[in-house]
A and B are shown apart, each in its own frame.
Chain A
Amino acid sequence: MKNSMSRRQFILAAGALAGSAVLAGCGGSSTSSSSASTDSSSASTSSSDDSYTLVKDGTLTVVAELGFAPFEYMDDKTGDPEGFDVDVIKAVADKMGLQCEYLPNQKFDTLVPLIKQGGKADVSIAAITITDVREESVDFSEPYLDSNQAIVALKGSAETRETLNDASKQVVCQGGTTGDDWITEKLPNATRVPVDDVTAALTGVQTGLYNAMVVDLPVAKYMLTNSFSDLEIVEEIATGEQYGIAVSKDNPNLTKAINKALEDIKSDGTMDSIETKWFGSTI
């Protein structure tokens, strides 16, 4: 009897806790969104028409897929996000007078829908190529970096774009990336295998599970130098695609503010130093 009483009490207490947490969450978010709008309007230097809303007051909340070195990855020891994109968005937030905060790691293919839905993150910067399809869902900042694609295969495998376009070949990519689109359109006969993260894909290529991977060229270069020395880039695909920062369509003034901040960090040399830090030279 005593036992069952204490269990019931526990459930009651847990329920009460959960309930109050939910209530607090609702209250918190509603107040913060209203105060954020007023606060950011006062923070922005120009007229009140330029005001934008933020999920969290005074903070630029960023979401990314943190497995895309050198653009964004988790530091081995601290678990903090690091990389080119991280430095860029920190510099941008700095120019806007905001703190920069990363949400926990999210799968790449959920980033654009998440920004479109709004409410969780303000922006996503994750080597996202500006494409027409994505522009239907979200707004993009001005491009901050040019990129290309690459086909990665085992050293000495003699795979090419032509040999891969065959029903017997499995070509892996990260789901939802432009590499994914590229395989669909340019290698229609190959079996396209989208997976969640680049490391799993490259490991698969290494072990022979997949014949090749299509991935952004800078990432391929970085990963092959740092961890996958038995793979090689068999073809560089000149796509000239451009990365942009994804912002909700409901928040056009935030896009404007980010564009202005991007311009600022380009003109004051911050961008050059970030590029030098990550790629050894300006691009």
Chain B
Amino acid sequence: MSINDATARPNEDGGTGVIGAMDTRLTWEGTVGDNEQVSSITLSLPEGATFDHSSTRITVLDGLNRTSIEGTATSADNSMSVQFSEDIPAGSLVRLEVTGMQFPAEGGDYVVSGSYTTADGQSHALDDSAAITVIANTPLQAAVSWLDAQPWVAAWNSNPFLGMFFKPQLLLASFASLFPGWLVCLGIVLICYPFAIVLGLAFAMLKTSRHKVLRAIAICYINLLRGTPLFLQIYIMFFGLPMVGINIDNNVLGVIVMAVNSSAYLAEIFRAGIQSIPQGQYEAAASLGMNGFQTMTSIILPQTVRRVIPTVTSDFITSYKDTSLLSSVGVMELMMFSKNLTTTSGNITPYMAAAIYYLIVTLPLIKVVGIIENNIARSERGGGPRPKRRAAADASDEVATAEQDLASSATVFHAEASKPAGDVFAALSAPFVSHPTVDLGGVADGE
């Protein structure tokens, strides 16, 4: 009898390693030789491995067809044996799947050895298998095992909802194994966004152009991309390009699709922003003798940038979330990792971990959008920052001024601006707060 293969199922939570002293499944596969019939097989592992409490699934195949030979497995310490109900004919393939066995705790490379008995009662040694690499316990796994042993964790998990959605052990394991996916998500959206902004600006210019043809090009581009689902665009690019012989790395292609898609939305945002600048600004620029290009770059665009920042940030949030769609075409991002983990664990917790990873980025950004919008609204009401006071102004004077100020939010800002750290804050936020603004109209459709 010859051995084909011996492998162990990875038992690292969210990983691919085989960890010692934790339940795993050993799969052993062998072929019965030409002139023999096998009645029993014994497998053994080095000292420290245990087959206690294991259960064995026996599969005997003739070619691709299953034969109905069964067997009884007995296990003792580091070896186990199977006695078959009838002799296995020559040429058959035998697979033993031993669930619930453990490799030695210290890790290392282990070979499965053993023996078999032929129908005539003779015992023969089995060839050693290729080595199975086992790793010692990882800190993460130790933490998970610690959680496993806690009574409160067991009580928590006994609630079907909590156990299915927020299993602490799995949450911990998910955070660790989802991390690379999160980096991919962030990477894709951070790399794609500058390109999207440049492309979007270009198409916004085209759309506000005086030439019919340029406008038509921009309108086609924007409407086609905004009028079709991103999911469809991803499918077209990922399956279409290779069909015409263009092979691009998955991650790069992901960046391209996301950039092209966002650029259409950004183009509309920029277009609305540009058109929201009052006509008087153009006239003022013309009266200073500026040409069209100068007007655009030094008068219109700087004001536009200020106005579109909240909407662009919202679009950024959308793009970041939309990277999840790339999981359907095999980009190894956050959703992909959590999906994998959910399929192996049969538990929803990895998705919850993914949700937390998304929220880590989106919640602060949403907050930022809120702050900027408030500041714009305040400057519209005329409540923006006053010209800076003398640096020598003493604190009591400051408080007195603040008390007179009716708008409390402005007060806070004012008091803050007087401190040294506040100066930096004021300088950084100045572009967002000082400008009079009109309603942005159609900008909100950037979603």
Residues of A in contact with B (beta carbons under 8 Å apart): 109, 112-113, 116-117, 132-134, 136-137, 146, 148, 170, 172, 175-176, 180-181, 184-186, 188, 191, 193-196, 200, 203-204, 207-210, 217, 236, 238-242
The bracket for how many chain B residues form the interface is 35 or more
Q: Are B63 and A238 in touch, CB under 8 angstroms? A: yes
Q: Are B239 and A204 in touch, CB under 8 angstroms? A: yes
Q: Are A240 and B16 in touch, CB under 8 angstroms? A: no
State which of B25, B55, B330, B343 has its C-beta within 8 Å of the C-beta of A209: B330
Q: Are B64 and A170 in touch, CB under 8 angstroms? A: no
Cβ contacts under 8 Å, B93 to chain A: 238
Residues of B in contact with A (beta carbons under 8 Å apart): 5, 7-10, 16, 25, 27, 55, 57, 59-61, 63-66, 93, 95, 97, 99, 160, 164, 238-239, 242-243, 247, 250, 328-330, 332, 336, 339-340, 342-344, 346-348
Q: Are B9 and A185 in touch, CB under 8 angstroms? A: yes
Given A175-B340, A203-B239, A238-B61, answer yes or no on A170-B247 (Cβ-Cβ < 8 Å).
Answer: no
- Bound Cα distance A148, B63 (Å): 10
Q: Are B16 and A184 in touch, CB under 8 angstroms? A: yes
Q: Are B330 and A113 in touch, CB under 8 angstroms? A: no
State which of A146, A172, A196, A204 has its C-beta within 8 Å of the C-beta of B66: A146
- Other than the given A132-B57, A240-B66, 16 more pairs (CB < 8 A) read A113-B348, A134-B346, A136-B346, A175-B340, A193-B330, A194-B340, A194-B343, A195-B328, A195-B329, A204-B239, A209-B239, A210-B330, A236-B64, A239-B95, A240-B60, A240-B95
Q: Are B328 and A184 in touch, CB under 8 angstroms? A: no
- Bound Cα distance A238, B64 (Å): 5
Distance to closest chain B CB from A179 (angstroms): 12
Of all chain A residues, which has the CB nearest B25? A132
Of all chain A residues, which has the CB nearest B347? A113
Distance to closest chain A CB from B53 (angstroms): 13
Top 7 A-B residue pairs of the complex, sorted by shortest distance between their CB atoms: A176-B343, A207-B242, A109-B343, A193-B330, A240-B66, A240-B59, A132-B99
Can you list 10 residue pairs at the A/B interface with Cβ under 8 Å? Answer: A109-B343, A113-B347, A146-B66, A184-B9, A185-B27, A194-B336, A203-B239, A204-B330, A209-B330, A238-B93
Q: Are A175 and B99 in touch, CB under 8 angstroms? A: no
Cβ contacts under 8 Å, B5 to chain A: 186
- Bound Cα distance A176, B343 (Å): 5
- Bound Cα distance A193, B328 (Å): 10
State which of A117, A181, A186 has its C-beta within 8 Å of the C-beta of B160: A117
Cβ contacts under 8 Å, B97 to chain A: 132
Q: Are B346 and A137 in touch, CB under 8 angstroms? A: yes
Cβ contacts under 8 Å, B160 to chain A: 117
Interface centre among A113, A184, A209, by most B CB within 10 Å?
A209
Given A175-B343, A185-B9, answer yes or no on A195-B330 (Cβ-Cβ < 8 Å).
Answer: yes
Given A208-B247, A209-B239, answer yes or no on A170-B330 (Cβ-Cβ < 8 Å).
Answer: yes
Distance to closest chain B CB from A217 (angstroms): 7
Cβ contacts under 8 Å, A181 to chain B: 9
- Bound Cα distance A86, B355 (Å): 36
Of all chain B residues, which has the CB nearest A118? B160
Distance to closest chain A CB from B160 (angstroms): 7
Cβ contacts under 8 Å, A117 to chain B: 160, 164
State which of B10, B243, B339 has its C-beta within 8 Å of the C-beta of A109: B339
Q: Are B343 and A180 in touch, CB under 8 angstroms? A: yes
Given A193-B330, A217-B64, answer yes or no on A209-B242 (Cβ-Cβ < 8 Å).
Answer: yes
- Bound Cα distance A180, B346 (Å): 14
- Bound Cα distance A37, B286 (Å): 83
Distance to closest chain B CB from A218 (angstroms): 10
Q: Are B339 and A194 in touch, CB under 8 angstroms? A: yes
- Bound Cα distance A186, B344 (Å): 16
State which of A134, A196, A203, A210 has its C-beta within 8 Å of the C-beta of B328: A196
